Amino acid sequence: MLCISLVGCQYFNQHENGNPQDQLDEFEHTTYEQERDLPDKQPQLEGGSERDVRKPHPVSNNILQKEFPNALFLNGSPSTNQVALTFDDGPDIRFTPQVLDVLAKHDVKATFFLIGARAKEHNEITKRIHDEGHVIGNHTYWHPNLPKEGLGRLHWELTQTEQVIEDITGIKPRLFRSPYGALNEEMIKMLEEKGNTVIGWNVDSLDWKQPGEDVVADNVLSNVGFGSIILMHDGGDWTMDLSGTAQALDKIITKLKNDGTEFVTVPELVGVPEAK
């Protein structure tokens, strides 16, 4: 495991093979804070960039969705021409404002899954997302690869991010998206018990590969359908250039609106509350 905190490393090295409930209880008393210098105050992805970590798992989350149909959603109803745009890994001081500007231009509301450390550091952007009518979901505090961690770590990441978002917006988010889309049964059971709804996707823009705006737009438009949850990114590893995401977004919205598609938020698409 990649450790970016002395306290965090000490805790996980000592307890990674322990009982999950013991980890959860003890981790409540553990402080986990990043200690290294950050480029332009941009908290980084602990688990690594999408391009280094994310591997194709074409059916694993579909299997989990069948097992937990009321807790995990990969898409909405296939009978209505509605889709939900979602953005991960923000807020980012470079790209989130660009995405928000495009959404405002088209009067489209989206769902942003925010990293707690970034939401806290860039609280004005977080507030703008909320004030402009978009839904905010929980994307953990440090973006670890959660299946490699204990349930105590998940609980800490969940609650710390909830508190940050609630302090800024007044809303405790119900929606949760796991970094890299990485999930297992134990995680979903715990999240369901905590009152969360887990959100995946069924259309991946692959913008994190930085292929350029035309390819990003084509990745979405070639795969979108009724009820699609579309994955895009307004943040990522500091070395990534996601300017193509905002440029592709303009093309995606224009084309789908011309086809009569309605853009809704994830809570509207799947019929769950925005807040706990």
* Catalytic, out of 15, 88, 89, 139: 88
Report the candidate in 46, 44, 47, 15 with the shortest Cα–Cα distance to residue 29: 15
Residue 12 tokens read as: 């996980």
Asked about 106 being catalytic, the answer comes back as no
For residues 160 and 157, give the distance between their C-alpha atoms in angstroms, rounded to a whole number: 5
CB-based contact 275:169 (threshold 8 Å): no
* Whole-number Å distance between alpha carbons of 266 and 84: 6
Tell me the two tokens of residue 58: 């074409």
Q: 110 to each of 42, 100, 146, how far by Cα in Å? A: 23, 9, 25
User: What's the token pair of residue 148?
Assistant: 């490699």
15 is catalytic: no
194 φ, ψ to 5°? Answer: -85, 5
Q: From the candidates 15, 204, 233, 237, which is the catalytic residue?
A: 233
43 burial class (0-12, 13-18, 19+ CB within 10 angstroms)?
Answer: buried
- Nearest C-alpha neighbor of 240 from the set 24, 30, 54: 54
φ and ψ at 197, to 5 degrees? Answer: -110, 125
Catalytic residues: 88, 233
